[in-house]
Amino acid sequence: MATMASRAKITRLISNLTHKTPSFASGFRSNGAKGQIRVNPFGVSGFSFSSWAAPLESNVMGSKDYENYRRSLYGGITHKALLVDAVGTLVVPSQPMAQIYRKIGEKYGVECSEAEILNRYRWAYEQPWGRSRLRYVNDGRPFWQYIVSSSTGCSDSHYFEELYNYYTTEKAWHLCDPDAEKVFKAIRSEGVKLAVVSNFDTRLRPLLRALNCDHWFDAMAVSAEVEAEKPNPTIFLKACELLGVEPEDAVHVGDDRRNDIWGARDAGCDAWLWGSDVHSFKEVAQRIGIRI
């Protein structure tokens, strides 16, 4: 137990040393520049901070030295488990959200332009959600009904259902990395366990089945099911529990600095920012110590 505690402390220390934490408020950089829009189960979800400064090398121990240190602990690999964010890392929408809202909404009387829909969506998503402490409860319908009506000015239930169901189909999404299946098979063949960790409603499992990638993973921690949303460390701890590993033995990969990186580290996991620390799942595997 003392050894585990020491490892956890070292993991958190190195993570803090090798990444500079930016200051921000209300979706804007401290220098006034806006962050990027980030996608979610219905198209986009507020702002992403993945375009911020890349990780900084520590004066005490560089990232390569740290990875070599971890390989010495685990017999050639750096981690026993890989946690993967869903939207923005594993999958992305095939068409812009505002375009779909507008296209499907035309027959229901939606007259807003795509730019108007996007701006209204941003505003609505950033408002406090007062129905519950979680946005995605069960199937998430109450939250998404609010978002759709606020974004388009249309409260037609038939419009909402058509839009809602569209985002459960494979035509609405595609994989970020076309080599994901091959890489994940190689990772699992080396004994590394895989889990999805996602802020999503209960449509995630049928969606991943529709994309024929649900069987790539040993477990899924979905916020609507575990009743905790990233960056709450509870969802990461649940994923580790499902995989049967300690948090310090896992690395999480996601595209949102606050939800994915800070949240995972608060749980005691290592974390790599998609699009900055790593750019493909092949690169993820190589950093873990697995040749593809």
Boundary (domain end) residue, out of 129, 155, 172: 172
Residues above pLDDT 90, as percent of the chain: 70
Q: Among 22-36, 260-274, 278-292, name the one with the lowest average pLDDT.
A: 22-36
Residue 72 is predicted with a pLDDT of 79
Task: Check whether residue 101 and residue 81 sit in a common domain.
Answer: no
Average pLDDT, the chain: 84
User: Are residue 277 and residue 148 in the same domain, yes or no?
Assistant: no
Query: What percentage of the chain exceeds 70 in pLDDT?
Result: 79
CA dihedral 261, 265, 270, 273 (to 10 degrees): 10
In this model, does residue 7 exceed pLDDT 80?
no
Return the CATH number at 158. 1.10.150
Does residue 231 have a cis bond before it (omega within 30 degrees)? yes
What pTM, to 2 d.p., does this model score?
0.80
Residue 187 and residue 207 in one domain:
yes
Question: Is residue 203 a part of any domain in this protein?
Answer: yes
Do 146 and 205 lie in a common domain? no
> N- to C-terminal Cα distance for the chain?
34
Last residue of a domain, one of 120, 147, 172: 172
31: which residues sit within 8 A by CB, 6+ positions away? none
Q: For residue range 138-179, what is the model confidence (pLDDT) as tens digits? A: 999 999 999 999 999 999 999 999 999 999 999 999 999 999
Q: Answer yes or no: is 8 within a domain.
A: no
Maximum pairwise Cα distance, the chain? 64
CATH of the domain at 39: 3.40.50.1000
| Domain-ending residue, one of 150, 172, 194 | 172
How far apart, in whole angstroms, are the C-alpha atoms of residue 279 and residue 285?
11
For residues 131 and 194, membership in a common domain is answered with no
Does pLDDT of 229 surpass 60? yes
Residues 88 and 195 in one domain: yes
Q: How confident is the model at residue 62, as a pLDDT? A: 66
CA dist 47 and 49 (Å) reads 7
Decide if 102 is inside a domain.
yes
Distance, in Å, from the CA atom of 71 to the CA atom of 171, rounded to the nearest integer, reads: 40
Same domain for 66 and 104, yes or no, is no
Nearest to 141 by CA among 202, 196, 91: 202
Output the pLDDT for position 128: 86
Let me know if residue 134 belongs to a domain.
yes
pLDDT digits (tens, 9 = 90+) for 30-72: 233 334 445 565 654 444 433 333 343 333 346 778 888 888 7
Residues 189 and 240 in one domain: yes
Number of domains in the chain: 2
Is residue 80 located within the same domain as residue 138? Answer: no
* Same domain assignment for residues 151 and 237: no
* Residue 261 one-letter amino acid: I
Query: Is a pLDDT exceeding 60 seen at residue 214?
Result: yes
Mean pLDDT to the nearest integer, 235-242? 98
Domain that includes residue 258, residue range: 33-92+173-288
